[in-house]
Structure 1
Amino acid sequence: MEDVSRVGSMTSKGSSIESSVVLSERSLKVEMPPELLRGVYLHECLAQWGKHWASSDTVERASDVRLSRPTQRIDNFLSHDWKTSRWLKLAALLVVFNSRAAAVGTLLVSVGVGILRASHVLPDEAWTVAIGHATWVCIFFGWQRLRSFCRPRTVFLDKLCIAQHDVALKEQGILGLAAFLAIADELTVLWSPRTLQRLWCVYEISTFLRRPEKRKQVKVMPVKLALLLCVNSLSWFVVAGGYSVISNKSSREVTWTRTLLGSLCMCFAAVFLPWTYYVGIGMMEDLSTLPKQLSNFRIQDAESTCCSRRHIHPETQQVVPCDRELVFATLQQWFGRPGDAPGKYLVDFNLLVRKELAPSVLKSVGRDHLPVWYTLYMAVSGSTPFLSDCISLLAKGPPANLSSGGTVIWGTRTFISFAYVPVLAILATRLNLCFCWHGFRMAHHSACRSRFCLAVLLSQLGVIIIATFWALFFISSNHVEASSWIPIVPFLLLLATTAILFRTGCI
């Protein structure tokens, strides 16, 4: 959120209102005129690859606020830092708001394609799997646009919901942030290392924390963690595609086209994987600061532009009011009690952040932790479309001369043959972040400080572990009879390992 001091200085420069009057009337409000309580549909925020999330230093236009509309309810108040890259914030928004719909939609379409293949409505060929992949891409990038036809999601984005072209309206909107937060169902924080260091970002969090019934509705998504989930999803999309082309059971004929396409996918994955670790190790530098920021949180350390400029506007050289005094006065009203020692309300608020907000955030996204559901939605996306192959094989029936018990085992093994790859992708994603965390620590506390070398070494270690799990299943599946339950054991081992890693984290 942009500092109010900038608005105050602009008022003194370009408005007919005297600066002394503005200063005397400045206070943070919890109520606003209904016509100024505005929200914008999320698909408008995501339009043109998130162009509205670019730096707030861009040209302020009256047309921007026209994208929003008066509302009495906001689904999500989007809290962010303008210095963070728009592409990182776009990735975080897509993961938070679109990944679940993309995963569910792809699952339903893949099941439908499998049934149509089994019914001979669609040809029983490998290319039909691409329908599932196309579904995921369309929903992941366009779900909010599709949703807008029935119930669009309404959010608050300061740049679009507060008039940027009118100085008076802009100041009134910023001073009334609490009114926007009061009608918001959830506070979605697109976290970067600067977020908890910015006074107005902390004020937005404090507005939610002052109401006990809303404290659990503060959701934090580190923007670089979202990018890492997207990168991992892409890599497993390529791996799953290459493996499917090479091992396609619908056609026993091995052609040079299949071999070439599968080999290209695997070569791309082999090159892409070390780069993923290289980026991941760099991301851990940001993620490693989150636990410390929350555990040692002090709003007294939050930065404001006015204080950094000694309350002098760099262009007009006029005195600008102090945002810190304004926010602290409001916090005293919310968290202070009669008879308290001076500054105790700040101590109480700091403890509230450490005890109420920190544990819930660190449990899912602190250090090397992953948000389970977002990881599930993103990691399995490249493998879900191959469920149609599984359904087609099940429809053809088991080999001849199997008993009823053998038929059940064969069906279970057929499904496991599909499920093994997405579960392996989830494990690989978890290991990726774990190794990136250790790579970050090694780069700062050991003799080996080359991030590139660490990325190559750790990625190969990850490949060895994943290849070992795959070999256990592949060997057991191809060297026993169709009615043997032995291949189920590696799958159960994989499930147990994945669950333990998500539950306990890395050592």
Structure 2
Amino acid sequence: MYKSGLDVCIGVPSEFPERGVTASATSSNGWDKIGVDVAEAETSSNGSGALPSMEWAADHVAEGTIQFLVSMQATKPEILRGIMVHRFLQHAPLIWARRTGLDTLHGLSEVTTTLDEFWSHSWQVKAYLKYINILHRHNSFSAFVVGTLCAFAAWALCVAGILPDGPAWVMTSRFWSTPAGLVGYYLTLFMWRRQKKAFLDIACINQTDDLIKAEGLVSMGAFLKRSETLFVLWDVTYVSRLWCLFELAAFLHSKGLGTDAEKHLVICPVFVGPALVLGQLGLAAMTVTFSISQLEFIPWGLVLISALAFPFFMLLAYVVLAHCRSIEMVQDQVRNFTIENSLSFCCSCGHVHPQTGSVMLCDRSIIVRCIAAWFESVQEFETIVRGKVLKLLVHQLANQVFSYWRIVQACCPLLWFYLDLPSVHDARETLKVAAIASTYSFMLMPAAALICLRLAYRMRKLFHGRCRKLLFCIGLVAAGALLFAVGWAFDFFLETLSVLHFGTDLPGNFAFLVIAGVVNLLLWYGLPDET
């Protein structure tokens, strides 16, 4: 979690006695004992006033730290802080733009007793990737709902004759639903006030006062114990980071090792949010470009859409393939997981701070003691990670990263685009477009996406090297296009039959909606999970 973990804050025993009295005067639950013990060392060496030894002080500080971490208590109530999700999402970009540093987020946090989420992450991951994932997790569904309501509102105003038809330079008759949906979506995405409280290390732990920062780190178990959900921003280095493993161990210990604990552990690869946001933007750009092109759908409109879609879907196919291959890497890492091979800052620099030259306590020894106390032994924890945690990781990464609703949200510009298509204000035409829009946005696109995802996962081991990956991505895009073409051809076939037997294509549209809905339901809920 922290680049330097506990070591920077409490890893300089010679500086600790100076602040020991202050700590004892303001803290509770035994934290003051750490400061008092070290302060007493100043006068304990035969009355000379010298410290008995550096090792003596370090051992006493480490023992007190371990006791607090194992008990999962806070040094004092005001140490427990959380930040409202909407405050972080709205203020972080401004802080980045002003280059004032995220330390200023601490002023936005507030004292709390419970937390909805604990955000666990590796410092190796870029800040903007973390931000986009948190933004998408908390605001994307609300943005989808509001954007779609705005698109339907614009459509209703057009039907009522309040809004005029689209300008002459667009192909669709109205062109109001798509812009209204996009404006509503992105305003909501960035401005939605998500009423959840989360733990973010740099916001909830004071970064300027070393003593308060040390108390926050020692109280890390209390933060995890009071968190409803552990939200893990996953990258391939996560399982090798000692502090990340400590957070995972503390959370599992606080929730127990049953199925209930698994419900509160959410794994999110760092590329998922950006991929889905780019997917939504790309689809919006394609629909808008096609609308203003004034081209007939067949043949030149189809050529234009294909030219725009190919590089975009190639990028998505590459991301999906990389994701599927990363699952294999995660399995290999976790199967061979040991605490001994995990990385910590203090051990990497020989327990001497590279900037100040101060002696640092060893994070590894403290964390190993805590894990052994929670799980009876380090070996038992390693067994749990290689067993239950591995199973949970693979299940979420293989089956829940690209969920149904995430795909629907990414495809929402297609739904808005269809609302602009009716050329007359006719109830039958309106019902037809509603059926087609629902079929393609909620049924056909998610079903095709799921089949391509399963295909990529099953064939992930067969493609090594750039040329093979490129060929596979082309094949994956072709498979998706073929599935979409088959659905479109079947829709056309049903419309033709409907016109022959009923004189209108409306029954055929609704028949396709029902059939596609059944197929989609069977695919998403009938296919066995990947393992």
Normalised by the length of structure 1, the TM-score is 0.78
Q: Does the alignment pair 1:42 with 2:85?
A: yes
Paired residue type of 2:315: W
User: Are residues 1:329 and 2:369 paired?
Assistant: yes
Is structure 2 residue 78 aligned with structure 1 residue 31? no
Distance 1:499 1:398 in 2: 27
Choose the corresponding residue for 2:353, options 313, 320, 324. Answer: 313
Counterparts in 2 of 1:490 and 1:25: CA distance versus 1, 3 Å = same
Cα deviation per residue 1:6-27 (whole Å; 9 max; x = unaligned)? 3344675799457653552231
> Counterparts of 2:183 and 2:272 in 1: how far apart (Å)?
24
1:498 positional shift? 4.0
Q: 1:339 is matched with which residue? A: none
CA positional deviation for 1:382: 1.8
Asked if 1:237 is matched to 2:284, the reply is yes
8 Å CA contact 2:282, 2:312 repeated in 1: yes
Q: Which residue of 2 aligns with 1:381?
A: 412
Alpha-carbon shift at residue 434 of structure 1 (Å): 4.0
Rounded Cα–Cα distance in structure 2 between residues aligned with 1:369 and 1:62: 33
Give a deviation string over 1:336-392, Cα, whole Å, max 9, x none.
2xxxxxxxx2233234445544444433323x75442542453332233246458x7
* Corresponding residue number in structure 1 for 2:482: 464
Residue aligning to 1:135: 184
Distance of aligned partners of 1:59 and 1:25 in 2 relative to their CA distance in 1, 3 Å threshold: farther
For residues 454-477 of structure 1, the C-alpha deviation after alignment (integer angstroms, 9 at most, x for no partner) is 333432333233223223223543
Return the offset for 1:176: 1.1
Task: Specify which of 105, 108, 111 is matched with residue 67 of structure 1.
Answer: 108
Cα offset for 1:157? 0.9
Partners of 1:387 and 1:418 within 8 A in 2? yes
Instruction: State whether structure 2 residue 462 is matched by structure 1 residue 442.
Output: yes
* Whole-angstrom distance in 2 between the partners of 1:60 and 1:485: 60
Q: Which amino acid aligns with 1:46?
A: L
**2:141 and 2:386 mapped to 1: Cα distance?**
30
Secondary structure of the residue that 1:398 maps to in structure 2?
helix
Q: Measure how far apart 1:301 and its partner are.
A: 3.6
Q: Distance in 2 between matches of 1:78 and 1:61?
A: 15
Over residues 230-272 of structure 1, what are the superposed CA-to-partner deviations in whole Å (9 max), with x where a residue is unaligned?
33333333444456667xxxxxxx679x999997555322332
Structure 1 188/52 Cα, relative in aligned 2: closer, same or farther at 3 Å? Answer: farther
Structure 2 counterpart of 1:175: 218
Deviates more, 1:169-178 or 1:135-144: 135-144
Alignment partner for residue 363 of structure 1, among 395, 415, 421?
395
Larger deviation, residues 493-502 vs 61-70 = 493-502
In structure 1, the partner of 2:450 is 430
Question: CA separation of 1:60/1:398 partners in 2, compared to 1, >3 Å: closer, same or farther?
Answer: closer
Distance 1:102 1:11, change over 3 A: farther
Question: Which residue number corresponds to residue 276 of structure 1?
Answer: 316
Give the C-alpha shift of residue 67 in structure 1: 2.4
Distance 1:6 1:264, change over 3 A: farther
Q: Distance in 2 between matches of 1:264 and 1:14?
A: 68
Residues 471, 239 of structure 1: alpha-carbon distance in 2 compared, 3 angstrom cutoff: farther
One-letter amino acid matched to 1:441: K
Q: How do 1:139-178 and structure 2 match up within 5 A?
A: 139-144=188-193, 147=194, 152-178=195-221
SS in 1 for 2:412: coil
* 2: CA distance, partners of 1:43 / 1:204: 24
Q: Does structure 2 conserve the Cα–Cα contact (< 8 Å) formed by 1:236 and 1:425? A: no
Tell me the SS of whatever aligns to 1:178. Answer: helix
- Tell me the residue number matched to 2:438: 419
User: Residues 106 and 135 of structure 1 are in contact (CA less than 8 Å); yes or no, is this contact kept in structure 2?
Assistant: yes
Aligned to 2:274, the other structure's residue is in SS state: helix
Q: Which has the larger radius of gyration?
A: 2
Q: Distance in 2 between matches of 1:379 and 1:133?
A: 12
Paired with 1:11 and 1:478, the residues of 2 have a C-alpha distance of 83
Query: What pairs up with 1:219-238 in 2 under 5 angstroms?
Result: 219-238=266-285
For the 8 Å contact 2:408–2:446, the answer to whether it is kept is no
Report whether the alignment pairs 1:80 with 2:98.
no
For residue 66 of structure 1, give the secondary structure of its aligned residue in structure 2: helix
SS of the equivalent of 2:236 reads coil
The 1:43–1:139 alpha-carbon spacing in structure 2 relative to 1, beyond 3 Å, is same
Moved more, 69-78 or 104-113: 104-113
Query: What's the secondary structure of 1:321's corresponding residue?
Result: coil
Distance (Å, rounded) in 1 between the aligned partners of 2:281 and 2:457: 21
Q: 2:150 aligns with which of 90, 101, 109?
A: 109
Return the match for 1:290 from 300, 305, 330.
330
- Deviation, 1:47, is 3.9
TM-score of the pair, normalised by structure 2:
0.75
Letter in 2 for 1:24: H
Q: For residues 358 and 381 of structure 1, what CA distance do their matches in structure 2 show?
A: 34
Query: For residues 435 and 49 of structure 1, what CA distance do their matches in structure 2 show?
Result: 38
For 1:312, give the aligned amino acid. V
Letter of the 1:6 counterpart: V
CA positional deviation for 1:505: 6.1
- SS in structure 2 opposite 1:105? helix
Q: Name the aligned partner's letter for residue 467 of structure 1.
A: A
Q: Which structure carries more relative contact order (alpha carbon 8 Å, separation 6+)? A: 1
Shift of 1:177: 0.5
Taking the aligned partners of 2:436 and 2:407, their CA distance within structure 1 comes to: 18
CA distance in 2, matches of 1:186, 1:453: 40
The answer (yes or no) to whether the contact 1:245–1:262 under 8 Å persists in 2 is no
Structure 1 residues 466 and 166 mapped into 2: Cα distance closer, same or farther (>3 Å)? Answer: same
**Contact 1:379/1:426 (<8 A) preserved:** no
